[in-house]
Amino acid sequence: MTIYNFSAGPAVLPKAVLETAQSEMLDYKSSGMSVMELSHRSSLFEEIIQTAENLLRELMAIPDNYKVLFLQGGASLQFTMVPLNLAQGKKALYVNTGSWSKKAISAAKALDNVEVEVIASSEDKNFTYIPEIPKTIDQNAAYVHITTNNTIEGTAFEKIPSFGKVPVVADMSSNILANDYKVEDFGLIYAGAQKNIGPAGLTVVIVREDLLNKKAIFAPMLDYALQAKNNSLYNTPPTYGIYIAKLVFEWVKAQGGVAGITAEDRKKAQLLYDAIENSHLFKSPVEKKSRSITNIPFITGDEDLDKAFNQAALAQGFENLKGHRSVGGMRASLYNAFPIEGVEALIAFMEKFEKENGGE
């Protein structure tokens, strides 16, 4: 049975990447060692981390005045590192578009000397849309934080709104390398790797140099400037994760770069949204203009039927389709490495289920 992994993260990786990792597992470039066994100070690993950075710079067209950091602690640690480095003694603005935004907001609020203001929210409708941004916002704020793609709720910013001269900080965990945003529209971007980049345990941060903290942070590991000064090698970085990220970046490049990948992502999402629109059983809980092309929730409106669908889907090899516990129903996460055949197979299965369950 073919397994299709719809997980929201850790998520499906390109098969070609896993095959390369497998072929290099026991003996990386005739070193007689696996990548996991290499010193992070060795020339072989230095080449890996430098290539990973160069490829990411090329794929995302990252300008020279931005640093690329390979860190640990997940996107969740960035919820604290961002305000700690950028907003001490200042005000930070947040757009509240879902569970992950809420966590970012509470982490910032937990810091004594950071003032937090939520400038827009879609919580009134269970985060089923992307809210309008007020015309005037405090131009002296340290930054405005957005979550570009809301993994749980299935909404995304199609375009990045204008916030004047306030730097935009983005949690891009679930749609990095899957959109045509421009890095220069952001002051800082962060992403946990475990969706479009590689295995969990690696976090990528892209930060404009002028935003690097001037004063040392009490905990060296949480200090962007120190991490940047040490080229992410202040301590032992997640070496194997960085190696897999390098392979994924090579794979993205071979797919025609971000433009090529995004075109394919749009095609996959369109197929599923069309099937949902044409169905009499399934519907999307998300407002049309706010829909994510990456995480696509759908429901029948009947919890028992959702449960029956999830059970039957699982038996057919559709893994991890169950929606997040806060939303229910189903959610198909169609990250870059998810094959279009999996979307087609899911749609065929949905049509069959609909016929067998009273649909037309």
Ligand X SMILES: Cc1ncc(COP(=O)(O)O)c(C=O)c1O
Of 71 and 350, nearer to ligand X (C-beta) is 71
What single-letter DSSP state applies at residue 185?
Answer: G
Any contact of residue 201 with ligand X (CB under 6 A)? no
What string marks each residue from 89 to 128 as x (binds ligand X by CB under 6 A) or -? -----------x----------------------------
Size of the site for ligand X (CB under 6 A): 11
Residue with structure tokens 């059983």?
281
Any contact of residue 174 with ligand X (CB under 6 A)? yes
- The correct pick among 35, 75, 105, 248 for binding ligand X (CB under 6 A) is 75
Determine the Cα–Cα distance for residues 348 and 360; give it in Å rounded to an integer: 14
Instruction: Name the token pair of 229.
Output: 């000064």
The residue nearest ligand X at its CB is 74
Closest to 28 measured CA to CA, from 14, 16, 42, 15: 42
| Span interacting with ligand X, options 171-179, 225-233, 239-247, 339-347, rule CB under 6 A | 171-179
What string marks each residue from 39 to 68 as x (binds ligand X by CB under 6 A) or -? ------------------------------
Q: Which residues contact 358 (CB under 8 A, 6 or more apart)?
A: 281
Determine the Cα–Cα distance for residues 265 and 260; give it in Å rounded to an integer: 9
φ, ψ of residue 120 to 5 degrees: the values are -160, 150
262 has binding-site annotation = no
Of 100 and 251, nearer to ligand X (C-beta) is 100
Q: Any catalytic annotation for residue 171?
A: yes
Q: Any catalytic annotation for residue 251?
A: no
Of 149 and 279, nearer to ligand X (C-beta) is 149
Determine the Cα–Cα distance for residues 119 and 109; give it in Å rounded to an integer: 14
Q: Concatenate the DSSP letters of all residues of 88-149 into one string.
A: TTSEEEEEE-SHHHHHHHHHHHTSTT-EEEEEEE-GGGTT-SPPPPPS---TTSSEEEEESE
251 has binding-site annotation = no
Any contact of residue 76 with ligand X (CB under 6 A)? yes
Q: How far is the CB of 200 from ligand X (least distance, A)?
A: 7
Of 93 and 347, nearer to ligand X (C-beta) is 93
Element spanning 18, H or E: helix 15-23
10 preceded by cis ω (within 30°)? yes
Of 82 and 347, nearer to ligand X (C-beta) is 82
Q: How far is the CB of 8 from ligand X (least distance, A)?
A: 6
Active-site residue numbers? Answer: 100, 171, 195
Q: Annotated binding site for L-glutamate: which residue ranges?
A: 41
List residues binding ligand X (CB under 6 A). 9, 74-76, 100, 147, 151, 171, 173-174, 192
